[in-house]
Structure 1
Amino acid sequence: MDRLGVVDEIFLRTHRGLGTPIALQGLWRTVDRVEPALLHRIHGALRPGPLGRRVIRSRVPGARRAWQPNVRAHPLDFMESTLPLDELLPWADTLGAGLDPEFGPAWRLAARWLADGGSVVALTCSHALADARGLVHAVDAALREVVDGAAAAHAVSADAGRPEAEIEAGDARSRCARESEWADAFRQWSTVVGGTIRALRHGIPERPAPEEPVRAGADELRVHGAVVQFRADEWDRVAGEQGGTANSLFIHLVATLLWDIGFPLPAIAASLPVDTRDEPRVDNDLAMTEIVVDRADTPATLRKKARAAYEHRMSSPGGMPEQLLQVIPDRWAHALAKGAGERDILCSNIGTLPDSLRTIGGHPCVGVAARAIHPGLTAARLPRTRLSGYLCRSGDGYILSLIGLDPGIESGSALAELAVHAASRLGLDGHPW
């Protein structure tokens, strides 16, 4: 049975209130109305898929938590009433509530018809369940299944027609069949003890002091989202003309936007997630690195900085083994890893989406956005990150999703306007959702 990695458990702790809560979300806007029957088929294809799992605790100290299949799901969230366009993102922001990677379903499929005659379809899941590429993989599998006509058979799965007690009995059998928890605990403790001894040869490591600047107005919780769409050929042309790449232009734009919002310092620390998977799978298979963006930086200089940073990933303090976070109590692990990977901005380049995600059944999409939201976030749990950007390419467009936590951001529409203006100074024509 698959077991949780270190990053999985970091996001699991945030679900329990130890850190900033995070859920991932994919948003599809179609040119016409998606029929409810199709949405039910997609929902049925997702249930037995890779998102259909939950966390179970180990009974042996040191053994990692494991994933167990879970076909239970939140019901399809769909209403035929028309949603005004300016309420699209506020509606989507509410969909992270009630996701539970341990004791309940950790994902939700929702949809609404839009006032422009189209539809919006949203898939939201706990970050403990998957990272962005993992969510893309799960959706790709489900949509291909629907197109191939196999989803109807899976929607009525063997588990769905059995009594709840029988499902639980099957779950118990899967526990017995999994790899020995004692063997996993032995490997974990061996890694932790050996790695700790090697690290301590260089002296007792000091916990790094947080570099979080003081936040004015941090007691006022205001989270605002925006989505802006660009032509891919224009984005690539501008990046090339400035000696950069699509990714370095992305980083440059998000940093410029934070300065436009009013960030007071001359340099911005940017965290950059790195996809580390070697095959398609639904997991948090990522690492973090960072760069410092100066006002004099260009897409060309940021290209060099990012390339160098990708060779030096963030590691645990003092060279201590990261598995240490999995064998100590959750509150201790949270204290040691608090703020890990958080910088002034987050720039997550999700990459090119599969062609299967460009349509919902037979309904072509005018845009596909991917982002993270923060369900249940309180002022006391605000991260250092002031602005998060998520970039993906779908067909002939780049879609930039922004989540603003800086108190200088007045509203989602204001954030979108600032992004369009910052992009126009770079020679880009952006269109807000």
Structure 2
Amino acid sequence: MTTAGRLTADDNLFLVMEHVVDLPVVNQVVWRLESDVDADLVNRLGDGLHAGRLSRLAVRTAGPTRDLWRSTPDAGVVETSDVPVRRGGEGDWARTQLEAPIDSVAGPSWRLTAAPTSDGRVMVSLVFSHVVADGGAILAAVDEAVRGCPRPLEVGRRRPLTDSLSLGRAAASAACEIVRTRRPSAPREARPTATDEPFTCPTIAVTVDSGVFDATARDANGTPNTLFVALVLGVLERSGRVATGDDVRINLPVSTRRDDDLRSNASSAATADVTVSAGRYDDLSALRASCKEAYVRRERDVDPFVSTVVVAQALPDAAVRRLAAGAGTPLCLASALGDLPASFATLGGTATGPVAMRSTTVGASAAQLAAAGGGVSAWSSRTPGVVTLCFAGLDPLAIPDRRRLTDLVLGELGRWDLRAEVWLD
């Protein structure tokens, strides 16, 4: 069993982004379900989440010790509404939920909200700080709450001196690894200047028939996951950030979560190096091989970024802020979440509807996001008969609004002859 008394290096990364760098990362799951998911069911779900692994807030400490988790049963907020969401207004409703305050230290660190729709369905949103949960943790938290077996935080004894010594040794080892593997930084491309106005990253969620999606992948000598990666790369290319012949690094998140694991964040990333080529539309073999090699390399090599994250835990905020000054966000990220558990997809109701899972920054300015260098991030998940794809535009210059992102995504899906339903924009 993994206890969670102190923040891991991955937890700390997102805490730094939220409270030091002012680029908070917030995750959201949005469900559209049938009317048997009512306010009582949502409130019971909320009770289960309050009693489970999400009932935690972070406590900042004076270094060089790791920040702590504090068991906090009232860390989250549950709200239901009787005001119907108009047909076509699901995206606006979801964005409103996403923009409500979230704070992993002061709380609330998560919000569960629900409202009926004008056509007789129910919209449910779960927004949470990435500090307290990644995709795997939220899948587990909801599944446990629905099944009535929540797993609360288990905090070990505080041993600040022991932790300080072990963290110091880990940081020293990581620093040596950084020096050993250091390579010259790739020059950042010169780009126009964005404004200091607040910018909400545009997102879109679409559903595709899973049988058609899988057949399209097979016809191009690929897998469903390879096709998903190709779609994300295609949207990035259409945005103008990359062109034919360019070399692109694609981040492929991989869960490291074990059974009985209470960590908030338990993942790493494989990195596929690919050259943009129109040949992928006929044959996905090269892209598939690049992704496979990325997974092998992840198991074999030590990522210098991981070492940097470990070092950051031993540093004061001012030093971390300077260290993070040149850091960026992925140009291209494709996170394949796979088949969603029935308990998660239905929330205990009788029918499965589309489920969108996305991650974005909230409250940052367009200038901050442009400087970070991000491009397109996307998440795929599967429920019976349906593949749901959610895209986020992280570049306020290349993808300034929802209309632009929608055009890019639908254009790329059309290039693959994939018909999609836009249900969240």
Task: Report the TM-score, using the length of structure 1 for normalisation.
Answer: 0.84
Distance in structure 2 (CA, Å) of the matches to 1:259 and 1:134: 32
Kindly report the root-mean-square deviation, in angstroms, between the aligned alpha carbons of the 2 structures. 2.9
The gaps in structure 2 that reach 5 residues or longer are none
Does residue 1:369 correspond to 2:356, yes or no?
Answer: yes
Does residue 1:284 correspond to 2:271, yes or no?
Answer: no
Among residues 77, 80, 85, which one is paired with 2:79 in the alignment?
77
Among residues 393, 396, 399, which one is paired with 1:404 in the alignment?
393
The amino acid of 2:386's aligned partner reads G
Residue by residue over 1:383-426, the C-alpha shift from the partner in whole angstroms, topping out at 9 and shown as x without a partner, is 31121111111222110011113334364255334323321221
Residue by residue over 1:321-380, the C-alpha shift from the partner in whole angstroms, topping out at 9 and shown as x without a partner, is 642111011232243345657332211112211111221332423211111132212123
Task: Give the CA deviation at 1:17.
Answer: 4.7
Contact 2:334 2:378 in 1 (8 A): yes
1:292-371 matches, cutoff 5 A: 292-293=273-274, 294-296=276-278, 298=280, 299-313=284-298, 317=304, 322-337=309-324, 342-371=329-358
Quote the residue 1:392 is aligned against.
381
Task: Give the CA deviation at 1:74.
Answer: 4.2
Distance in structure 2 (CA, Å) of the matches to 1:139 and 1:64: 28
Contact 1:420 1:431 in 2 (8 A): no
Contact 1:33 1:113 in 2 (8 A): no
Quote the residue 1:164 is aligned against.
none
Contact 1:24 1:372 in 2 (8 A): yes
Shift of the 286–188 alpha-carbon distance from structure 1 to 2, 3 Å rule, reads same
Distance in structure 2 (CA, Å) of the matches to 1:89 and 1:252: 25
Distance in structure 1 (CA, Å) of the matches to 2:85 and 2:324: 41
Shift of the 197–431 alpha-carbon distance from structure 1 to 2, 3 Å rule, reads closer
Quote the residue 1:226 is aligned against.
204
Distance in structure 1 (CA, Å) of the matches to 2:407 and 2:87: 16
Does residue 1:257 correspond to 2:244, yes or no?
Answer: no
Quote the residue 1:113 is aligned against.
116
Q: Could you say what secondary structure the match of 2:351 adopts?
A: strand
Task: Give the CA deviation at 1:104.
Answer: 1.7
Q: Could you say what secondary structure the match of 2:41 adopts?
A: helix
Shift of the 353–308 alpha-carbon distance from structure 1 to 2, 3 Å rule, reads same
Q: Could you say what secondary structure the match of 2:107 adopts?
A: coil
Residue by residue over 1:108-164, the C-alpha shift from the partner in whole angstroms, topping out at 9 and shown as x without a partner, is 00112112221110111000111111111111111112xxxx79xx9xx9xxxxxxx
1:37-116 matches, cutoff 5 A: 37-58=40-61, 61-96=63-98, 97-116=100-119
Contact 1:232 1:396 in 2 (8 A): yes
Distance in structure 2 (CA, Å) of the matches to 1:339 and 1:28: 37
Contact 1:28 1:368 in 2 (8 A): yes
Among residues 29, 34, 41, which one is paired with 1:31 in the alignment?
34
Distance in structure 2 (CA, Å) of the matches to 1:290 and 1:311: 10
For the pair shown, the structure with the greater C-alpha radius of gyration is: 1
Distance in structure 1 (CA, Å) of the matches to 2:288 and 2:307: 31
Does residue 1:214 correspond to 2:190, yes or no?
Answer: yes
Q: Could you say what secondary structure the match of 2:208 adopts?
A: strand
Distance in structure 1 (CA, Å) of the matches to 2:380 and 2:386: 10
Task: Give the CA deviation at 1:195.
Answer: 4.5
Shift of the 338–142 alpha-carbon distance from structure 1 to 2, 3 Å rule, reads farther
Task: Give the CA deviation at 1:269.
Answer: 3.1
Q: Could you say what secondary structure the match of 2:319 adopts?
A: helix
Q: Could you say what secondary structure the match of 1:183 adopts?
A: helix
Contact 1:131 1:282 in 2 (8 A): no
Among residues 411, 418, 422, which one is paired with 1:428 in the alignment?
418
The gaps in structure 1 that reach 5 residues or longer are 158-170
Distance in structure 1 (CA, Å) of the matches to 2:177 and 2:30: 46
Contact 2:38 2:122 in 1 (8 A): no
Q: Which runs of 4+ in 1 moved over 6 A?
A: none
